[in-house]
Structure 1
């Protein structure tokens, strides 16, 4: 029985947590590139936040050696990051069993998504069976603050909107509560943006991305196909 798990690992020593704490208005998605020797490179996708803020945060981070901007589209940028620390230097004071941590890389599991938070990582992973998940969760419960959000069987559907980022959910919720979607409209884009502490253009982009994701998860998946 294959399982899909969503969980948070709260540990300040995890890679790039300092960067996320410096950039509270951004969304950081981390991928590990294991084909680059013993210490994997990081591929970091950053949404929102100015170029200068992101560049300064990466340059000042204690666990970043070098970084390169490799792609940009709208308000989303992708960086390749060379870590400054080994696993032992990064986590040695926080994880009792470093050998166990390295063993998790060969477990019957695939970590599909890592979102870097100001206090740890939020992850989505696929596990071959319950034993594989228990091995993973037991390790992190023993070495950090592990919190399971959802555990489902492979193939079970997710509720619409589950793929939204925290910032997108907050934007939709605030706009709805303030009456931005009512007819007639009770709150302008500028008023909602002021409530959130962001620019109107950033809010517009955030709402558009959120609405697109909801359409992809609901209307766009309807069957039979809509007539052309």
Structure 2
């Protein structure tokens, strides 16, 4: 049994993925679940973005996208579709990368996940090195306190969790607020609107599990 598990984050640029190109066109941030590759060569994509943002129209005009379905939930739109374009992340998945979440930001991508053991990490890094535009951003050991049971994990993305945690630690939730939203956003190195969006989505995910 291998006891060591490492959390890793990859930054991706220059990918021809429809979602990457759509966010480059619209300037949006899109949160996505790990893509599911099908035997027929198509990839199932599930993701969400701001409502009434023009994202649906851009994807609908992309010939690589099929069976696009859009459902609105409050201020967000949830998307499901098939893509004919292979996803770069599958090259890392094939050698042992356990992808947890993907975020598309203005044409670039960030993969967050884990690898089990140094040997698997080496294979993933070699695969990343052979893939144009993939670089390792962060890597750290997954501790026992971070590895919650699957049934008890919050239904929020790592980016939303970081927004909630940073806001809490900086005193954003205190009365009166110890810091402004712009200060928390600067700490996270994102824009104020992106921080507030992640905060609202994270709160909705946590409250939904607490009270739903």
**Shorter-chain TM-score: which interval?**
0.5 to 0.7
8 Å CA contact retained: 1:29, 1:46? yes
8 Å CA contact retained: 2:28, 2:106? no
By how many angstroms is 1:131 displaced? Answer: 1.9
8 Å CA contact retained: 1:163, 1:213? no
8 Å CA contact retained: 1:44, 1:79? yes
Could you say which structure has the larger radius of gyration? 1
Structure 2 partner of 1:65: 66
Unaligned runs of 5+ in 2: 147-156, 182-190
Instruction: Flag the 1:33–1:143 CA change in 2: closer, same or farther, 3 A.
Output: closer
8 Å CA contact retained: 1:2, 1:154? yes
Unaligned runs of 5+ in 1: 92-100, 189-194, 221-228
Structure 2 partner of 1:135: 123
What TM-score results when the alignment is normalised by the length of structure 2?
0.63
Match of 2:43 among 37, 41, 44: 41
Structure 2 partner of 1:74: 74
**Aligned partners of 1:108, 1:7: CA distance in 2, in Å?**
14
**Aligned partners of 2:18, 2:90: CA distance in 1, in Å?**
15
Match of 1:17 among 15, 20, 23: 20
Aligned-pair RMSD on alpha carbons?
4.4
**Aligned partners of 1:14, 1:72: CA distance in 2, in Å?**
23
By how many angstroms is 1:56 displaced? Answer: 0.7
Structure 2 partner of 1:94: none
**Aligned partners of 2:193, 2:94: CA distance in 1, in Å?**
43
8 Å CA contact retained: 1:180, 1:187? no
SS of residue paired to 1:37: coil
What TM-score results when the alignment is normalised by the length of structure 1?
0.59
Q: What is the count of residue pairs matched by the alignment?
A: 185
Structure 2 partner of 1:164: 159
Task: State whether structure 2 residue 106 is matched by structure 1 residue 118.
Answer: yes
